[in-house]
Structure 1
Amino acid sequence: MGFLTESVDVDCDAEGVPVGVRWRGRAYRVAQEPVRWYERRAWWAEDARLPAGRGVGAVEQQVWRLQVQLSPRAELLTLELVHTLDTGRWRLLAATSATGIRVGRCA
């Protein structure tokens, strides 16, 4: 069984760094420097088998932690997103308010 996550739309700058996120009908801007790392993707849990020639990007995924807000005076939210490199898909894993209250959790 794969992850249960929520798709989001992400706008990136020329270097591929997120600058905005559209989630649940609202547009958030990235307010702090994003943090990125790479994790191994459990492709075997999502796909019956990895098709021939599809190795690069299928095994690794980018994970981003973003501080976003609706406006300059709005509360910051921390979003944890996964970017699957071979498909370009963005998924929300968690959303937490500045007070530590979990706003949304998938997976």
Structure 2
Amino acid sequence: MGFLTEGVEVDCDAGGVPVTVRWRGRGYRVAQDPVRWYERRAWWAEDARLPKDRGIGAVDQQMWRVQVQLTVRSELLTLELVHTLDTGRWRLLAATSASGTQVVRCA
């Protein structure tokens, strides 16, 4: 059984770093430098067997913490995102306001 997540659309710069996030019909700009790390994906929980030709992204997935705003004067939101490399899909795991209030927790 996998995580419950919410799909988002992410535009990245030439280096693959997120610059905008579209979530729930609204466009947010990335306001601070994002933080990226990698985590092991529990592929065995999703696939009975990992196909031989399936490589990068099957085991590791990119995790991102980005701070976004609707406008320059609006409150910062911190989004925790996962980018599945082999599918290119982006998913939201959590959103927290600058005051520390959890807006949404999907996982």
Query: How far is 1:56 from its partner?
Result: 2.1
What does 1:4-43 align with in structure 2 at a 5 Å threshold? 4-43=4-43
Quick one: distance in 1 between partners of 2:69 and 2:12? 16
Provide the TM-score with structure 2 as the length reference.
Answer: 0.97
Q: Secondary structure at the match of 2:45?
A: helix
- Deviation, structure 1 residue 38: 0.5
Q: Which amino acid aligns with 2:33?
A: E
Aligned residues: 107
Structure 2 residue runs without a partner (length 5+): none
Name the residue aligned to 2:89. Answer: 89
Which consecutive segments of 4 or more residues in structure 1 shift more than 3 A?
none
Q: How far off is 1:52 after superposition?
A: 1.4
1:91-106 alignment to 2 at 5 Å?
91-106=91-106
Q: CA deviation at 1:31?
A: 0.1
Task: State the percentage of identical aligned residues.
Answer: 82
Distance 1:70 1:48 in 2: 41
Match of 1:50 in 2: 50
Distance in 2, Cα, partners of 1:57 & 1:6: 19
Shift of 1:3: 1.0
1:75 aligns with 2:75: yes
5+ residue gaps, structure 1, are: none
**Deviation per residue, 1:25-80 (Å, 9 max, x gap):** 10000000000000100111112221112132210000000000000000000000
